[in-house]
């Protein structure tokens, strides 16, 4: 099948765009190798905190652009965000539960899980935690994504599950 996302390539500059947003198309191993190198240099906890802030900011900016560009309401935007991530090859996200202050998301074929080996209790997809906190804080209209907690509860790499799961909630 062909990609489900519209891709426009500027003839003059060579810049790729989807929905007007400049995009980069790159090999999965390139992205994951860079990710693992930074994790090794900084330590997982430090890197995870940095990623959470940065990716949440990007998720919020993306969602705000969709509201302006497509006129979607916040809940439709939240669903569209995970649909687009799925269509762009990060993995297949599905929103299993979404209540007023919490929810859970399943992820199949995560790029990080596919590149990593299996290991007991292993969880490797923490980059997506910030994606979720950003999108959910946008949905709730919170002032900051730090008001949302999210954890990859289990991972397809842990030897016990065939997919990853993220649970999230707004802090009381």
Kindly state the smallest distance separating residue 166's Cβ from Zn ion, in Å.
Answer: 9
How many of the other CB atoms lie within 10 Å of CB of 37?
10
Smallest separation, CB 172 to Zn ion (Å): 27
Is the CB of 79 or the CB of 163 nearer to Zn ion? 163
Q: How far is the CB of 125 from Zn ion (least distance, A)?
A: 3
Element (H, E) at 107: strand 102-108
Cβ contact 57:101 at 8 Å: no
Residue 51 or 66 with smaller CB distance to Zn ion: 51
Q: Which residues in this chain contact Zn ion in the complex, by CB under 5 A?
A: 110, 113, 125, 155, 164
* Contact indicator for 155, 124 with CB cutoff of 8 Å: yes
Q: Which H/E stretch holds residue 95?
A: strand 92-98
Smaller CB distance to Zn ion: residue 104 or 110?
110
């Amino acid at each position: 099948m062909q990609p489900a996302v519209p891709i426009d390539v500027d003839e003059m500059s060579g810049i790729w765009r989807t929905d007007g947003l400049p995009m980069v198309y790159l090999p999965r191993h390139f992205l994951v190798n860079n990710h693992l190198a930074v994790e090794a240099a900084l330590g997982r906890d430090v890197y995870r905190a940095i990623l959470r802030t940065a990716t949440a900011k990007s998720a919020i900016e993306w969602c705000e652009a969709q509201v302006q560009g497509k006129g979607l309401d916040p809940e439709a935007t939240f669903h569209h965000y995970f649909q687009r991530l799925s269509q762009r090859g990060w993995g297949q996200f599905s929103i299993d539960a979404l209540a007023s202050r919490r929810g859970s998301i399943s992820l199949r074929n995560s790029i990080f899980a596919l590149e990593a080996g299996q290991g007991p209790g292993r969880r490797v997809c923490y980059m997506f935690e910030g994606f979720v906190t950003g999108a959910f804080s946008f949905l709730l209209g919170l002032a900051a994504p730090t008001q949302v907690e999210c954890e990859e509860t289990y991972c397809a790499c842990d030897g016990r599950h065939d997919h990853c799961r993220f649970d999230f909630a707004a802090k009381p």
